[in-house]
Homo-oligomer: A and B are copies of this chain.
Amino acid sequence: MAASLPVSPLALPLPALTTVSGVRLGAVAAGIRYTGRTDLVMAEFCEGTSIAGVFTKSRCPGAPIDWCRQNLPGGKIRALVVNAGNANVFTGKAGNETCRLTAFEAARLVGCKPEEVFLASTGVIGQILPTERITNALPDLSRTLKEDAWEQAARGIMTTDTFPKASVRRTTITGTPVVIQGIAKGSGMIAPDMATMLSFIATDAKIPAPVLQTILSACTVDSFNAITVDSDTSTSDAVLLFATGAANNVHIDDSTDPVLSDFISALKAVMLDLALMVVRDGEGATKQIEIIVRGATSNESARVIARAIADSPLVKTAIAGEDANWGRVVMAVGKSGEPADRDKLAVAIGGTTIASEGTVVEGYDETPVIAHMKGTEILIEVDIGLGKGESRLWTCDLTHGYIDINGSYRS
């Protein structure tokens, strides 16, 4: 089970965390599934906090996803409740009722409307979530919330994660200092009954919900949507962004306002940090893999090709074996179904061009590539040679560790 997994060899240390004015958090051991660890996290936000969210594209989402989607148009949040150990997915009417009861209890404690409470659950699918363990624990938890409990929150949402994940950036909006701080969990982007990807990011910037939503959606494309561990889309993926407004910066009503450019860069950096931490904690991962596709007929085409490479079990096992098996990269380009011409294709690994114009380059010396493959950060570059489309994705290798974790999770 989660507690017994060895820490990922790609684990990163927790950065020095700060506080975000207007946000207080806490975590408690509610005994939902795990013993001897926290598994219930609550956050309270000051009045006026706006919210944006992006969610899984699964056609069978969990009940908390439905709850969040339903309340997101209101644009306001006062409380967040997250539990680990049970995803509250495929739990029928009981699952919806758990959401309703949890939100009502949190709203009572905070003094807000239930629609201003957002929820997330992560863990096993198809088991009824014991609602009373959450609602019984919330009153005490709500009394202990504090501004500097971000690490506790990061640890409380972990499932098969082997290290807590957080990132922080400071920036300004027309000279007013603002901070962006986020946490995430996930070990496998996309490993639904144990490693659903969740991320919660707060800023003290004052940004209205519609603008916040536009920014969040745009920044998701090249961060959380640019990673894959095992190609399996979770039923519960959610990224929520909160803006408390405590920094009291200038009024903003347009996401394209140039005063936001530094903020957007900083947010992108936080989101990419967190996304890469999820890859680095990918189940069984021993290598982080960056895939850059250029020269495709469009950016979307490049993205589909990059995804085909990143999701190929043959590419991922070859990298686990430190084998620069570029033929499998060619195979993955071919299977993507996107426009490609074998005789214009070029493949480079670790900066060394191995193949171009449909065959291996003359005098190819594998030595530097072999050395690159022994490292923990692998770079694969493919030039399709047809256009200007580009895309960049990150994934991890496929190892015995993945089989170990996923072949025996429930037992």
Check if A278 is an interface residue, CB within 8 A of chain B: no
Check if A210 is an interface residue, CB within 8 A of chain B: no
Assess whether B234 is in contact with A317, with CB atoms less than 8 Å apart.
no
Check if A331 is an interface residue, CB within 8 A of chain B: yes
Give per-residue flags for A26-66: 1 if the beta carbon is below 8 A from chain B beta carbons, else 0: 00000000000000000000000000000011111100000
* Closest B residue, CB atoms, query A61: B334
* Closest B residue, CB atoms, query A399: B403
Check if A130 is an interface residue, CB within 8 A of chain B: no
Chain B residues near A59 (CB, 8 Å)?
A: 333-342
Assess whether B328 is in contact with A193, with CB atoms less than 8 Å apart.
yes
Chain B residues near A58 (CB, 8 Å)?
A: 331, 334-335
Assess whether B403 is in contact with A317, with CB atoms less than 8 Å apart.
yes
Chain B residues near A313 (CB, 8 Å)?
A: 230-232, 313, 398, 402, 406
Chain B residues near A317 (CB, 8 Å)?
A: 402-403, 406-407
Assess whether B193 is in contact with A334, with CB atoms less than 8 Å apart.
no
Within 218-249 of A, Cβ neighbours of B (below 8 Å) are at: 230-235
Check if A120 is an interface residue, CB within 8 A of chain B: no
Assess whether B330 is in contact with A92, with CB atoms less than 8 Å apart.
no
Shortest C-beta distance, A160 to chain B (Å), equals 12
A60-B333, A232-B331, A233-B335 known; A406-B192 Cβ under 8 A? no
Check if A259 is an interface residue, CB within 8 A of chain B: no
Bound CA span A323–B408, Å? 7
Shortest C-beta distance, A56 to chain B (Å), equals 8
Check if A158 is an interface residue, CB within 8 A of chain B: no
Check if A300 is an interface residue, CB within 8 A of chain B: no
Assess whether A358 is in contact with B92, with CB atoms less than 8 Å apart.
yes
Bound CA span A154–B93, Å? 55
A59-B337, A342-B61, A359-B94 known; A125-B403 Cβ under 8 A? no
Q: Which 9 A-B pairs have the closest CB atoms?
A: A125-B327, A92-B359, A321-B407, A60-B334, A233-B335, A58-B334, A317-B406, A192-B331, A126-B327
Instruction: Give me 6 other A-B pairs in contact (C-beta within 8 A), A60-B345, A235-B331 excluded.
Output: A59-B339, A126-B360, A127-B360, A230-B314, A323-B409, A399-B407
